[in-house]
Amino acid sequence: MLSLHTLTIKKAHEKLKNKEISAVELTQSCLDRIAETDKKLNAFLTVTGKEALEQAKAADKKIAAGSAEPLTGIPLAIKDVILVKDVKNTAGSKILENYIATYDATVIRKLKEASAVIIGKTNCDEFAMGSSTENSAYGVTKNPWDLERVPGGSSGGSAAAVRADQCLGALGSDTGGSIRQPAALCGNVGLKLTYGRVSRYGLSALASSFDQIGPFGKTVTDTAWIFNAIAGHDEKDSTSLTEDMPDLTKLSPQIKGKKIGIPEECFVKGLNPKVKQLVEDAVKTLEKLGAKVDEVSLPHLPYSLPTYYIIMPAEASSNLARYDGIRYGRAAETETDTLIENYLKNKAEGFGDETKRRIMLGTYTLSSGYYDAYYTKAQKVRTKIIGDFKQAFKEFDLLITPTVPDVAFKIGEKSDDPLAMYLNDILTVSANVAGVPAISLPCGFVNDLPVGLQMIGNYYQEETILEAALAYEMATDWNSKKPKF
Ligand code: GLN
């Protein structure tokens, strides 16, 4: 019998529409797969089986009545920083271990309106801070290609769940690469949208001027379908864009005549030569399909990582200040004499090391003696980086880089060295610093571990990168290879 959980969203949609399968069968198949595999993988923090089956039943009724939207009856997993009403939302942190969301994030409201099935909440680094999922208070998620390796982060649970066929697609959040980096290390497609394209209402904030929710899919089309359902203006988010959204459910491959720029600055120190080779091969494939390729320079690109690691902790320290154990978050069990001691105890017990490190860094760079030297300077450099992208997109339709300099690393390998961990983001952060859209998709394997190709587009041009990604995907078959897990 066909294992329904292995289907793509597009295939499952066709079968649901033709009544070959039911949403209840499809959901049950994913739940069985989770039960069978998640002890090893640890991708899920909460599985909402009962609710998912109820949603699937309702979806079946809708399909029977003749209205099957692309996501109707499709089981999706949600990173545990996106609120789902009446379901626990830990953000990977002990400080929120008992927090039950009281409302739906806008993206969840939209998924529910589309009659998608929400199957559970996935593991992540604490408050989305990390590149490996090792900063979760609930244990690391394993990479389905090699259980001794990390799945990437911070949305590692979502990436692993999709690649291990525990669900058909997932949502993550990307502040500096947390969708694209784990997508690359697990062999999925992952998309970060133009800043403001998707509402942040109901997302546990890390750094508000970077954060964007986005989709993971097994294919480019699946990813586009989820994007289509969640994006669009929301009056509950003051940074939400009002620009019209293209209909991406009818995506077609387009690459002929497109101008691709290869930023010379992306050939960073530490780039695995085999990863570089695969990306160069991918570029050759795109050239054969009719793209025009040239080198381009974005001179301020090397400053993206330091700029990000100044502004992001500054915003994080401000966003996380609310978790004092009184207004928000878990209170420490021991009694204290003063209010200040109480705050300190609650935070000391509730937050993990990386979160504390970033709160201290951010508080430092925002303090009056250092504000101009660090925070203001970083904002100025951010403007220069935005300028570089705007300049490049006058000439090019899209830019291509590797997503990550190397393949998935071993669990524990970088956990004592924050700088080595931060270097994982060197190729992804610039899209967040500038606010442009970017996608990662599989472009091959090194030692049986997947490698990601990153395509970066101009503001609002998700369609251009998805069309180019689809053209590449159709010319290759990397995502037909599955982990023997
Ligand atoms: N790895 C990056 C960080 O640690 C990105 C995190 C993210 O995108 N949420 O900040």
pLDDT tens sequence across 104-116: 999 999 999 999 9
Which of 206, 304, 361, when mutated, tests ligand 1's pocket best, judged by the most ligand atoms within 8 Å of its CB?
206
Which of 132, 154, 317, 430 is catalytic? The answer is 154
Q: Residues 333, 342: contact at Cβ < 8 Å? A: no
Rounded CA gap, 250 and 221, in Å? 9
No. of helices (H) and no. of strands (E), the chain: 15, 11
pLDDT tier for residue 334 given thresholds of 50, 70 and 90: confident
CA distances from 343 to 324, 355, 357 (A): 5, 16, 17
Q: Tell me, yes or no, if the pTM score tops 0.85.
A: yes
Instruction: Please report, rounded to a whole number, the percentage of residues in the chain having pLDDT higher than 70.
Output: 100
By C-alpha distance, which of 104, 110, 66, 112 is closest to 86?
104
The average confidence (pLDDT) of the chain is: 96
Q: Residues 312, 210: contact at Cβ < 8 Å? A: yes
Helix (H, G, I), strand (E, B) or coil at 47: strand
250 is catalytic: no
Whether the CA torsion 78, 82, 88, 94 is positive or negative: it is positive
Average pLDDT over residues 188-200: 97
Question: What pLDDT score was predicted for residue 2?
Answer: 67
Rounded CA gap, 359 and 430, in Å? 22
Ligand 1 within 6 A of CB of 177: yes
Length of the chain: 485
CA distances from 407 to 143, 441, 447, 450 (A): 11, 14, 9, 7
Ligand 1 within 6 A of CB of 135: no
Q: Tell the burial category of 379 from Cβ atoms under 10 Å away from its Cβ (0-12, 13-18, 19+).
A: middle
CA distances from 353 to 94, 123, 129, 247 (A): 12, 17, 11, 43
Tokens of 53: 């089956």
pLDDT in tens, 232-271: 999 999 999 998 888 999 999 999 999 999 999 998 888 9
Rounded CA gap, 266 and 343, in Å? 43
178 is catalytic: yes
Domains of the chain: 4-256+474-480 (3.90.1300.10)
Q: Residues 255, 292: contact at Cβ < 8 Å? A: no
Which of 131, 178, 199, 204 is catalytic? The answer is 178
pLDDT tier for residue 395 given thresholds of 50, 70 and 90: very high
Q: One-letter amino acid identity for 285? A: T
367 is catalytic: no
